[in-house]
Chain A
Amino acid sequence: MSVAAAPAGPAAGAGPLDHPAARVLIRRHRLRWWEALPWIVALGVYFIFPDYLSFGAELLIAIPFALSLDLALGYAGIITLGHAAFFGTGAYTVGLLAFHGLWSEPITSLMLAGLAAAVIGLASGLVLLRTTGLTLLMLTICTMALLGEAANMAHDYTGGFDGLPSLPIAPVFGVFEFNPLYANTQYLYALAVLFVCFAFVRTLVYSPFGQSLTGIRENALRMHAVGTPVRRRLVICYTISAAIAGIAGALWAQTNAYVNLSALDLDRAATVLIVLILGGYGRLYGAFIGAVVYLALEHFLAQIYPSAWQLGLGLLLVAIALFARNGILGLGATLTQRYAVWRAAS
């Protein structure tokens, strides 16, 4: 009947769950062998390239930030260009606590930063997520700008434009020294935080909640008509996404031992969006690929071409926008499919 590559129906006597379509859904969340690769590579780098650990830590911070954006933008379809608001909230939470001598234990600081960002995400989400499209986009930028200006004006606490330098961060578990001179501690610490964040996001996107977010992205109007409390789901998603972005920001503040206004400016929000689009959004691992490619390009192009490295990046983005709308991972998926069709045909 159907001409395309639709699979044949189930064998006679098999139940509905034996149908290939059902099996796809039942197995989708299972771990695949290649999912171990990022972690093996990350640990390999630790042992093989000890000189690159501070660069590595920077990368390991960019990933959870991009992952948090993927949850909101890639999975739930929340159009935002203000995600640095939450990154910055997390970073300033750590900065203010440490600089004013209130709290410097790193792990609890991370949690507090996540909580603070979640509160901002919840409060702004309740207002923002009544809108969609360009209005939503503008409001996310406005929220970020408001926070940025607040940080600038509260000069006595935040250091204003100069930021908060030389944050005292206590050793991890009270043992492992934590400052920019100890890149190995920072690297492993960031890796552990990334692992926890990733495990959480992965669980979430494969859960029934995650599936309903995908439904909202695909057709929010229809979701209302199947009885979904659409706005409540979006606000929950946005809050969780904000918390993860806040943790990434906190990690950034801790590893650099300073905070300044660049933590919540448009530049940072745009960069994380580029990272995600480069890697491929709505794909979980797009954040990994995007962060690696973006930071590697930035790092190496800046060495070769210190004055014009952004030109190379710009060209790559144009190529991605023209030829690989779904990012590097999307391109990979398309090529794999074409190969499968070609192999089936020949």
Chain B
Amino acid sequence: MSAIRLETQALSRHFGALNAVSDIDFRLDAGARHALIGPNGAGKTTFVNLLTGVLPPTRGRVLLAGRDITGRTQAERVKLGIARTFQINRLFRGLSVLENVCISVAERIGAASSMFYPAGRRTDVIEEAMHLLETLKLADHARRRVSELPYGRQRLIELAIAIGLRPQVLLLDEPAAGVPSAESHIILDAIERLPEDIAVLIIEHDMDVVFRFARRVTVMVSGAVFAEGSPKEIEANREVREVYLGQAVNG
């Protein structure tokens, strides 16, 4: 059960004199439901960018299932099983909802470089994408252009594209950010229904979401791990309350 899926060793990234991420040793087990919290500017998104290969680290290593992937490109890491969503939607806005998911599924099963037959003949791709939309209760919107959908649904498509990659490790960067609270349950329901064995790391500001979802919580402050433990331990940790939770409750 506790096979390590993703691990970092002394992972660091400096921007000039700023240590955005410094010496992080982190592990994510198979089936993990792990939350990464911390004040703005703590380096959470930079950390995710290091995991996915958007940024090269200044120092340290990233291991996926024991294999060093530090030098791999973003696309290669996706093929190896790391998928992510973005804090700000990155969707194919001019395309239909179904096409958005088809792009991700086609890429995963290696259909996307074929030139000499119509995409419409890959019914396996379309069927899987459609099925995924049904499980996310997006099927009614499948034909609509993404840019026409309300923001909450767009956030769900952000998630659908990542799930279509069938990742082993899924990194969710504030999945419910900007979604009106009346709609945020559709995102949270979808996250709770993710396949059990995916290792999920969620960056989140909303403590209700964190405590509902996470079985383990890491607190980052100023680019370093400040505390780590179960949600109860974190909630009970005085220092964490002072640097972070207090702010969140008051502000």
Contact = CB atoms under 8 A, between A and B. Distances in A.
Interface of A: 1-2, 4, 6-9, 15-17, 19-22, 24-30, 203-204, 206-212, 214-215, 218-219, 221-230, 233
A26 B123 contact: yes
Contacts of A20: 142-143
B115 A225 contact: no
B112 A228 contact: yes
A206 B130 contact: no
A226 B78 contact: yes
A226 B91 contact: no
17 contacts: A2-B141, A16-B126, A16-B131, A17-B123, A19-B143, A21-B130, A24-B96, A27-B120, A207-B114, A207-B115, A208-B111, A209-B113, A210-B115, A212-B113, A218-B92, A222-B161, A227-B78
Given A21-B98, A212-B103, A222-B92, 17 more contacts: A17-B123, A22-B126, A22-B130, A28-B118, A30-B120, A208-B119, A208-B125, A210-B119, A211-B99, A212-B107, A218-B92, A224-B54, A226-B83, A226-B108, A226-B164, A228-B112, A233-B113
Interface string B76-93: 101100011010001111
Contacts of B140: 1-2, 6, 8-9
A226 B115 contact: no
Nearest to B134: A16
A39 B231 CA distance: 69
A334 to B, nearest CB: 14
A209 B122 CA distance: 12
A25 B104 contact: no
Nearest to B96: A21
Contacts of B52: 225
Contacts of B15: none
Interface residues of B, number: 55
Nearest to B150: A2
B43 to A, nearest CB: 20
Given A209-B113, A211-B112, A222-B90, A22 B107 contact: no
B68 interface: no
A212 B131 contact: no
A214 B121 CA distance: 18
B163 to A, nearest CB: 11
A2 B139 CA distance: 12
Contacts of A229: 75
Contacts of B142: 19-22
| Most chain B C-beta atoms within 10 Å of own C-beta, residue among A8, A27, A206 | A206
B192 interface: no
A226 B103 contact: yes
B126 A25 contact: yes
10 closest pairs, A vs B, by CB? A227-B78, A21-B142, A16-B130, A29-B118, A21-B143, A218-B92, A222-B90, A21-B98, A212-B112, A209-B115
